[in-house]
Chain A
């Protein structure tokens, strides 16, 4: 007779454990404000995996209807003089979508965009790997950084793929992985006409300095300062 309540309590415990496991699974450790929020009910999650770049312009097309179901444009155009990095998000970009087949289009700072077909399943996270990378072009005139326009070419220098504007702040240009060339023709002001190769790999950054002045004195250099009498 005593075993009946015990059995019931054991069954209840097991079910509570099951419920707790489900709870852990669906929240994914996001409680407390860290990480992405839980997936919306009846939807699946698309997460962009772009080699550490957590801010790209992208949109999502429904493969069945061709309609645009989501769009995000946090970055300004590469050629915009007011464009600068306002800071990258700490989390990869994501969007919750109804289950189905979609086309994700990531716009870069050149003509070529990156597209991925994804299948979204209810309650699941789908990672779309976006093969893009970034580079930074820093132009010095004397000792100061300047804003100058430049062109992004294919490696063969046959086709202009895009335009950009250097910045006095930190500013990256996002392009599909590959090799390119950038050209700055600034003859009127600085007398420079520079063509530099750019090698963009996923998750890597290339900094290109043009007109860079000599680096500041390092400890141990014979600068005359701090010398002992």
Chain B
């Protein structure tokens, strides 16, 4: 009896040590629990786990000729149209919110690895993940449809449609919906030489300093809905850079902010703005419903 107790004592002490060791050295990677059913052009289905687009959890697409980065967490289903080998494919995205977006995606076409790529360059854009058979990848060109399966119990992320009043330095006012800064719902700014961002959905207003109107960087003060204030500078350069095309120069300078007004598309450069006042908007509200 005593012997048994003694042995159990040793075992307990060793177990404590092993558990402590396990607790001490355990390391884990961030979870990527996104699963997907990938249907290729021949109709084959692949059940993929840890699904990603070139290692990223976002998709680079062009919607209405504007580059947009869309998180995969917002998307329910993606359908690719066009011929195999096309460098640009038409893509339809059925968002989890019920909205549908159409645009184009670059597939890479039949590009070969670049001769200067060191370390085994790969060609073409691809989706990657893991199947029961091992690592999985498929070129965008070979995909017909992707049905994303998000983690169970995860709430459907709602897309915010930002509404704002934009007041220019000349005092003109514009009522804008679906406001975006360079395709994103956030404003990049600099605090010293550190780049930071302001999520536009959390901001009540952004004031642009008058004194910097003619300078490359304009000071701003953003006031959040919770009363917090952030100060910094934004790039408002109107200087044409060497190598810039007419279109890219125009877009960079005059279409930093893009949205929709009742009369159509709205664009404005950072050097024109005096103040942006955001309206509290119901999440997921359709801007076309007036």
Please list the residues of chain A having a beta carbon within 8 angstroms of any beta carbon in chain B. 7, 10-11, 14-15, 17-22, 24-26, 28, 47, 49, 57, 59, 66, 68, 71, 73, 76-77, 105, 107, 111-114, 116-119, 121, 123-129, 131, 149-151, 153-160, 163, 176-179, 183-186, 193, 197-199, 201-209
Indicate if the CB atoms of B62 and A205 lie closer than 8 Å.
Answer: no
Indicate if the CB atoms of B23 and A123 lie closer than 8 Å.
Answer: yes
Task: List, in ascending order, chain A residues with CB within 8 A of B10's CB.
Answer: 10-11, 14
The CA of A205 and the CA of B241, in the complex, are separated in Å by 26
A157 to chain B minimum Cβ distance, whole angstroms, is: 7
Is B100 an interface residue when CB atoms closer than 8 A count as contact? Answer: no
Is B114 an interface residue when CB atoms closer than 8 A count as contact? Answer: yes
Which residue of B has the minimal Cβ distance to A108?
B195
The CA of A209 and the CA of B115, in the complex, are separated in Å by 11
- Assuming the contacts A151-B241, A158-B62, A179-B108, asked whether A126 and B30 have C-beta atoms less than 8 A apart, the reply is yes
Task: List, in ascending order, chain B residues with CB within 8 A of A158's CB.
Answer: 62, 65, 67, 247-248, 251
Q: List 29 A-B contacts (CB under 8 A).
A: A14-B10, A14-B13, A18-B14, A21-B17, A21-B21, A22-B21, A59-B196, A119-B30, A126-B28, A126-B29, A131-B56, A154-B60, A155-B106, A158-B251, A159-B182, A160-B244, A178-B54, A179-B125, A185-B243, A197-B114, A199-B122, A201-B122, A202-B55, A204-B118, A204-B121, A205-B118, A206-B116, A206-B118, A207-B118
Within 8 A of A (CB), among B68-127: 69, 88, 106, 108, 111, 113-114, 116-123, 125
**Contact mask for chain B residues 1-35; partner A; CB cutoff 8 A; 1 contact, 0 none:** 00000100110011011101111111111110000
- Assuming the contacts A25-B21, A71-B194, A117-B30, asked whether A151 and B54 have C-beta atoms less than 8 A apart, the reply is no
The CA of A164 and the CA of B239, in the complex, are separated in Å by 16
Indicate if the CB atoms of B244 and A17 lie closer than 8 Å.
Answer: no
Indicate if the CB atoms of B193 and A77 lie closer than 8 Å.
Answer: yes
- Assuming the contacts A22-B21, A123-B23, A163-B241, asked whether A177 and B30 have C-beta atoms less than 8 A apart, the reply is no
- Assuming the contacts A11-B10, A178-B60, A204-B121, asked whether A124 and B248 have C-beta atoms less than 8 A apart, the reply is no
Is B142 an interface residue when CB atoms closer than 8 A count as contact? Answer: no
Task: List, in ascending order, chain B residues with CB within 8 A of A25's CB.
Answer: 20-25
A2 to chain B minimum Cβ distance, whole angstroms, is: 14
B259 to chain A minimum Cβ distance, whole angstroms, is: 17
A202 to chain B minimum Cβ distance, whole angstroms, is: 6
Indicate if the CB atoms of B244 and A151 lie closer than 8 Å.
Answer: yes
- Assuming the contacts A71-B194, A204-B117, asked whether A123 and B17 have C-beta atoms less than 8 A apart, the reply is no
Q: Which of A155, A177, A197 contacts B56 (CB 8 A)?
A: A177
Please list the residues of chain B having a beta carbon within 8 angstroms of any beta carbon in chain A. 6, 9-10, 13-14, 16-18, 20-31, 52, 54-56, 60, 62, 65, 67, 69, 88, 106, 108, 111, 113-114, 116-123, 125, 182, 188, 193-197, 202, 241-245, 247-248, 251-252
Residue from the set A77, A114, A206 with the largest chain B CB neighbour count within 10 Å: A206
The CA of A159 and the CA of B67, in the complex, are separated in Å by 7
B63 to chain A minimum Cβ distance, whole angstroms, is: 12
Residue from the set A105, A126, A185, A201 with the largest chain B CB neighbour count within 10 Å: A201
Residue from the set A71, A116, A155, A186 with the largest chain B CB neighbour count within 10 Å: A155
Q: Which of A76, A124, A129, A207 contacts B27 (CB 8 A)?
A: A124
Task: List, in ascending order, chain B residues with CB within 8 A of A179's CB.
Answer: 106, 108, 125
The CA of A126 and the CA of B25, in the complex, are separated in Å by 11
Which residue of B has the minimal Cβ distance to A107?
B195
A160 to chain B minimum Cβ distance, whole angstroms, is: 5
The CA of A165 and the CA of B29, in the complex, are separated in Å by 35
Task: List, in ascending order, chain B residues with CB within 8 A of A176's CB.
Answer: 56
The CA of A112 and the CA of B54, in the complex, are separated in Å by 15
- Assuming the contacts A11-B9, A22-B24, A128-B30, asked whether A177 and B55 have C-beta atoms less than 8 A apart, the reply is yes
Residue from the set B24, B25, B62, B114 with the largest chain A CB neighbour count within 10 Å: B24
Which 4 pairs between the two chains have the least Cβ-Cβ distance? A25-B24, A18-B17, A131-B55, A204-B119
The CA of A150 and the CA of B17, in the complex, are separated in Å by 58
Indicate if the CB atoms of B121 and A201 lie closer than 8 Å.
Answer: yes
Indicate if the CB atoms of B28 and A124 lie closer than 8 Å.
Answer: yes
The CA of A151 and the CA of B241, in the complex, are separated in Å by 8
Task: List, in ascending order, chain B residues with CB within 8 A of A127's CB.
Answer: 27-30
B75 to chain A minimum Cβ distance, whole angstroms, is: 17
Indicate if the CB atoms of B9 and A159 lie closer than 8 Å.
Answer: no
Indicate if the CB atoms of B117 and A199 lie closer than 8 Å.
Answer: yes
Indicate if the CB atoms of B6 and A59 lie closer than 8 Å.
Answer: no
